[in-house]
Amino acid sequence: MAATTATPTSAGAGTTGAGAARLRSRRTWSADRPRRSTLMTVLTALVLVYALVPLVWLLINATKTQSDLFSTFGLWFGHSFALGSNVADTLTYDHSIFLRWFANTLLYVILGAGGATLLAVLGGYGLAKFRFPGKRAVFAVIIGAVAVPGTALAVPTFLMFSKLGLTNTPWAVIIPSLISPFGLYLMWTFASEAIPTELLEAARMDGASELRTFAQICLPMLAPGIVTVLLFTMVATWNNYFLPLIMLKNPDWYPLTIGLNSWNKQAATAGGEAIFNLVITGSVLTILPLIVAFLLLQRYWQSGLAAGSVKE
Amino acid sequence: MSQALPATAVATVRPARRRRTSSGRRWTGWGFVGPFMVVFALVFLAPIVYSIYLSLYRQQLVGGNSFVGLANYTHAFGDPLFWEGVGRVALFLAVQVPIMLGVALLVALAVDSGRLYGRNFFRISIFMPYAVPAVVATLMWGFMYGTRFGLIANINDALGTHLPNPLSPSWVLASIGNIVTWEFVGYNMLIFYSALRTIPGTLYEAAEIDGAGQWRIVRAIKLPAIRGALVIATIFSIIGSFQLFNEPSILKSLAPNAITTNYTPNLYAYSLSFSGQQYNYSATVAIIMGVITMIVAYVVQLRGMRKEA
């Protein structure tokens, strides 16, 4: 999405840009180093509080026993600090099914998001750097398909997969995850910018095969874009709810999202044990890996997003 | 969506080699795009075709599958349960999307202005909820809304107030709107911010020398420059609103009386299929929603792009 953004920039740039060049030496403050504004910081901090309070709530409540959950104030710690026992209970409850769900999620993410990224990188590179018959049709079909609601596809996909005997297997979750139109779009704009066509010409002149040119010359140049697409497809598969919900009946194949929701629903069923403390602790354990990945890789994906939106 | 084809480079380089490679290279691109397109055909195109097929048939108790033409469509057009859901997501769209995108834009402008203390911290923290799965976000907010160990209950106890129950039928749509806003405000902020970063700094210098104030710079330079991002974010938010499913579906277990099985069109299509076994009618509902979504998205795109000219 960010990729489409910059096109209109140049229209306004032509008229005022000349003035800037003429008067550059008179610059005093602003532009590069504007004055800090306390008022603006405070106002933006309101949005920051809105974004973080639920996460703080979740962390604090992961330290509470179930009775403290019901009896103590939500945004402060309870009588006992039960984080350790909550984590242990979450991991061992119902024959350690949480660990099974965790492993399933990892499987879906590695094969689904990894495969989606691979396909998007290959496809985006092909679209950006080759002319081939039917290319315009490919654009039209993909752009049209992005507007189709994913859930509109769910029922027919389910019926097709059940005829193929794929429902209730990991493939039912992995195969549909392999397509990321947004990933393809991002890689296509990114590859157009990041790889100079002259370089490809030079490699071909030297007799390098197309595959070798791609693997050895282009792949390293595409790295920030690849990390960006990988992170976003990872989020999409890690957070996937609707697809596994309809495809999987057997709890042994659930990903974390469906598993947590089934724990939560358990309290509402007749005779079901309420395990809200495990739902909350499990939620913390579910979001932790993604948040850590985003924080550790922020330099890459932020430059990937920014570069994806540079199009002059 | 424009695309810069590498036409210039192709034209300028070597006429001599062209003879040898042109026929072979013409199809090389397919080698790279092919794998994507094969899977794409399997998981996107085939289901679309199949659901159109399904929507033209009806499963009868006697006689099995029979062709009914557009009967499913006429049934859907007169189905109050379906239109109730459509009306609800339309209301959601009209209220939630402007609020979310407005806040996202203001934060993006604030972060981009460079006037914040600790702006990197702001940017990454406000984006963070995007990494939280809809399931966790909904359960978390659902618990906080809840009367059992919710913050609302805490506030009512502490201050003696009578805040309305966010999970009651009249408030639950707003509560869902809040969850969706929380999930995506940072994501949209980041899209706007990335677009803002591509504006050349010299433009601001020129504007300031010409005596333009901050608001005038925002209106005359920044907003026009990121119109593309605004249009795209709006389109994706529209698609998201019409597809609304996860949040109401998960919240249903915490607010069973407030959220009906036809609360949104997608929830309706889901219940038709998986609790009612009415696959044909469910496919029809999904197709109508898809068409409505595409029309609205297309109109927004046309309007957004026309203003640009």
Residue by residue, DSSP assigns chain B as -----THHHHHHS-STTHHHHHHHHHTHHHHHHHHHHHHHIIIIIHHHHHHHHHHTEEEETTTEEEE-TTHHHHHHHT-HHHHHHHHHHHHHHHHHHHHHHHHHHHHHHHHHHT-STTHHHHHHHHHGGGGS-HHHHHHHHHHHHSTTT-HHHHHHHHH---PPPTTSTTTHHHHHHHHHHHHHHHHHHHHHHHHHHTS-HHHHHHHHHTT--HHHHIIIIIHHHTHHHHHHHHHHHHHHHHT--HHHHHHTTT-TTTS-TTSSHHHHHHHHHHTT--HHHHHHHHHHHHHHHHHHHHHHHHHHHHHH-
Summarize the confidence of residues A184-203 as an average pLDDT: 85
Model confidence pTM above 0.90: no
Contact B183, B137 (CB under 8 A): yes
Residue A212 burial (CB < 10 Å; 0-12/13-18/19+)? exposed
Whole-number Å distance between alpha carbons of A97 and A263: 11
Considering Cα of A21, then A23, then A27, then A31, what sign does the dihedral take? negative
Whole-number Å distance between alpha carbons of A282 and A290: 14
Type of residue at A242? F
Contact A64, A275 (CB under 8 A): no
Determine whether the interchain pair A38/B117 forms a contact, defined as Cβ–Cβ distance below 8 Å: yes
Give B77's pLDDT tier (boundaries 50, 70, 90).
very high
Residues in A 164-223 with any Cβ partner in B closer than 8 A: 175-176, 178-179, 184, 188, 192, 197-198, 201, 204-205, 210, 214
Task: For residue B279, give the chain A residue with the closest CA.
Answer: A155
Q: Chain B: nearest CA to A9, how far in angstroms?
A: 5
pLDDT, tens digit, 9 for 90 and up, residues A56-107: 999 998 888 887 777 777 777 887 888 888 888 888 888 889 999 999 999 9
Give yes or no for residue A54 having a pLDDT over 80: yes
Whole-number Å distance between alpha carbons of A130 and A124: 10
pLDDT, tens digit, 9 for 90 and up, residues A128-140: 888 888 888 887 7
Q: Is A33 helix (H, G, I), strand (E, B) or coil?
A: strand
What fold characterizes domain B78-308?
A: MetI-like fold (1.10.3720)
Which 3-state string (H, E, C) describes A96-121? HHHHHHHHHHHHHHHHHHHHHHHHHH
Query: Per the structure, how many domains does chain A have?
Result: 1
ipTM of the complex: 0.83
Give yes or no for residue B194 having a pLDDT over 80: yes
The pLDDT mean for chain A works out to 81
Name the token pair of A149: 């609601």
Q: Assess A263–B contact: CB distance below 8 Å, yes or no.
A: no
Contact A59, A283 (CB under 8 A): no
Q: Chain B residues with CB inside 8 Å of A154's CB?
A: 270, 286
- Residue A217 located in a structural domain: yes
Output the pLDDT for position B307. Answer: 56
Of A55, A138, A149, the CB nearest to B239: A149
- Residue A238 located in a structural domain: yes
Whichever domain contains A283, its CATH number is 1.10.3720.10
E strand or H helix at A275, and its extent? none
Give yes or no for residue A144 having a pLDDT over 80: no
Backbone angles phi, psi at B218, to 5 degrees: -60, -45
- Residue A30 located in a structural domain: no
Instruction: Kindly list the domain boundaries of chain B, sorted by start residue.
Output: 1-55, 78-308
Highest mean pLDDT among B82-96, B206-220, B256-270: B82-96
Q: Chain B: nearest CA to A241, how far in angstroms?
A: 7
Q: Chain B residues with CB inside 8 Å of A287's CB?
A: 131-133, 136
Q: Chain A residues with CB inside 8 Å of B137's CB?
A: 54
- Residue A40 located in a structural domain: no
- Which domain does A280 fall in, by range? 2-7+84-308
Give yes or no for residue A301 having a pLDDT over 60: yes
Question: Which residues, 6+ apart, have CB-to-CB distance to A23 below 8 Å?
Answer: B205, B206, B209
Q: Chain A: nearest CA to B19, how far in angstroms?
A: 14
Give yes or no for residue A312 having a pLDDT over 90: no
Quote the strand ranges of chain A, DSSP E: none
Q: Chain A: nearest CA to B170, how far in angstroms?
A: 22
* Residue labelled with tokens 């805490």: B154
Q: Is A30 helix (H, G, I), strand (E, B) or coil?
A: strand
Determine whether the interchain pair A54/B199 forms a contact, defined as Cβ–Cβ distance below 8 Å: no
Output the pLDDT for position A266. Answer: 84
N-terminal to C-terminal alpha carbon distance within chain A: 16
Cα-trace Rg, chain B: 25
Of B13, B199, B242, the CB nearest to A9: B199
Q: How many C-beta neighbours within 10 Å does residue A158 have? A: 20
Beta bridge partners of A30: A33
- Residue A246 located in a structural domain: yes
Q: How many C-beta neighbours within 10 Å does residue A197 have? A: 18
